[in-house]
Chains A and B, each alone.
Chain A
């Protein structure tokens, strides 16, 4: 099974760390979202995070909201998520994680979802509105199937909750860089540096920082202390405005931030 941990470790050995790119499935169309994801990998993205469009995305800012709303209006179905994973993993070597709000997984059936994701070649799940406390069924399903399970840690998380996120996660822990929602920001918070240090103290094998990262300089800055940098809204915006070539070009630019000087 192609999981995220080994790739993140390898990229920290041979470069400053891993670049993780987010795109929603079905935006602007299913085919174009697959092409865009492949283009990201061909241009230096190491791990893919595919978002499943959802009607009530409380962690997402305006760029991703608009994209996922369009995907839903175009008829997105959960099965398109598995199809996208299959088509991307057939054409690239990158691990592909699904980012999904929790209700769609519950309705599909947690075990069935895990089985179908594993069968499609997926690496695991990032669950922005599922805390480890509520995740018993998913943790068991991930254990059974070998899928990564990526939980979030926030600057406001207590030490006990940091430990809980580290213990529950496989692959990496998603360190929320700043208090807020997705979207490009001028400054990636200093809070991220402290959070990654706390995750490291708690024994996290890998911490990747997300929210607000949109430039190669920010990727480089984050990779000074973190194992991976996650870019979402900036890539979605590039795809929305310039299509697959623009998304690929931005990925190539962002990947410069992973290189050792």
Chain B
């Protein structure tokens, strides 16, 4: 079977629905609504029109030769999801799930967010469709992404700072699931990544796969050939699966996912789930997971809030297990250097998440050599990261810190 044809609930040994029985009816309802929507040309047309007239699709590709000079001379081509409305790939998925919410007749949406990009995208769709919206965000993340908290509130969403556990993305997901169990009659959970229980990994992937479908044709048009390699950062993995999916059956195209290596994968402070984790169950799916001997989730660390997650989507675990995609860690320092390099050489400020893919590409280009073409998913823009970057690079005036 073609790899592209793989559907949930299982991707090899990974995936499933490890959730309280109270959520099964809602997951069934969502899955059935999605299966019907897939067959309905009207749904596809409505989503495509939103993509065109609201998100700004297709997003362009940009070749970046001055950056590529630092990557062993390989050609480097960026897929510009950073130019989407709301500033990242997250909007692709959110518009699809918001349309589904309307189809199943629910009036309230909830979402988790780490960096705030998925929360902003969800709050945006809620404003567009007139839905009530509550965003769960770990307290640690509300502090380091204060600008996005303000954006969500301006859009009319209620932002709940989650104080439980490690107060980051995983705890925000727990709290959103608790809300959903309690309010399932009125509420749809707009999940932000390709993790979680079935149907989320499959559905979110399907809403994101347009990235790779567009990029594959755009690279063919530009270069006359498929790229040598495709690179993306991986937290939960939605932008990566989005750009990988169109290439899964192009066996000559190498796929690379770059995980957050934090302060180094030999320290305790990283989020390199596939590199350093082992299979387990978290947030409704069996997948790779950072955990201790007793199966307690270990807190992840990354300078990038969007990658700071101890789990990963089950399809990535499967692609790693069958050897179709390769996952490597990139440290905070390497990502920040790549962020500055792209900014200085090309005038494009990437999100810190996407900078992990850029850092990985610098290394990959040197390995693959000057004949290679590397397609990189520039999944988000760096506006939200200015405070982190300014602190990291000491850009604030010393007398006037902010």
Contacts and interface: CB of A to CB of B under 8 A. Distances in A.
A57 B174 CA distance: 7
Interface string B85-118: 0000000000000000000000000000000000
Interface of A: 54-59, 61, 65, 69, 72, 77-78, 102-108, 128-131, 133-134, 151-154, 156-158, 161, 165, 176, 179-181
Interface string B242-282: 00000000000000000000000000000000000000111
Contacts, number: 109
A56 B282 contact: yes
Interface stretch (B42-50, B176-184, B366-374, B391-399): B176-184
Given A156-B184, A181-B178, A54 B296 contact: yes
B21 A152 contact: yes
A156 B25 contact: yes
B294 A56 contact: no
Contacts of A57: 174
29 contacts: A55-B165, A55-B297, A56-B170, A56-B171, A56-B282, A58-B20, A59-B20, A61-B178, A78-B295, A103-B281, A103-B295, A104-B294, A106-B280, A128-B20, A131-B24, A134-B17, A134-B18, A151-B21, A152-B22, A153-B21, A154-B20, A154-B22, A157-B21, A157-B25, A158-B28, A176-B20, A176-B21, A179-B183, A179-B185
Contacts of B306: none
Given A72-B296, A157-B24, A107 B280 contact: yes
A161 B21 contact: yes
B166 to A, nearest CB: 8
Given A58-B178, A179-B181, A180-B182, A107 B20 contact: no
Given A58-B181, A102-B281, A107-B293, 5 more contacts: A104-B296, A108-B295, A131-B24, A134-B17, A156-B25
Contacts of B289: 103
Contacts of B19: 58, 129, 131
| 3 nearest CB pairs, A to B | A107-B295, A156-B25, A104-B295
Find the residue from B21, B26, B164 having the highest chain A CB count within 10 A: B21
A106 B263 CA distance: 29
A158 B25 contact: yes
Residues of B contacting A: mostly: mixed
B12 to A, nearest CB: 15
B295 A106 contact: yes
A100 B348 CA distance: 48
A180 B181 contact: yes
A151 B19 CA distance: 12
Interface in B171-198: 171, 174, 177-178, 181-185
Contacts of A156: 22, 24-26, 184
Contacts of B295: 54, 78, 103-108
A58 B25 CA distance: 17
A56 B298 CA distance: 10
Nearest to B298: A55
Interface residues of B, number: 35
Interface in B1-44: 16-22, 24-26, 28
Given A69-B165, A131-B21, A158-B25, A106 B294 contact: no
A77 B22 contact: no
Contacts of B22: 152, 154, 156, 176, 179-180
B239 interface: no
B296 A59 contact: no
Contact of B283 (A56, A61, A134, A157): A56
A106 B21 CA distance: 19
A56 B297 contact: yes
B291 interface: yes
A77 B108 CA distance: 39
B150 to A, nearest CB: 27
B271 to A, nearest CB: 15
Given A77-B294, A108-B294, A180-B181, A58 B24 contact: no
Contacts of B297: 55-56, 103
Contacts of B165: 55-56, 69
Interface centre among B178, B291, B294 (most CB of A within 10 A): B294
Given A106-B281, A107-B294, A134-B17, A58 B177 contact: yes
A54 B283 CA distance: 13
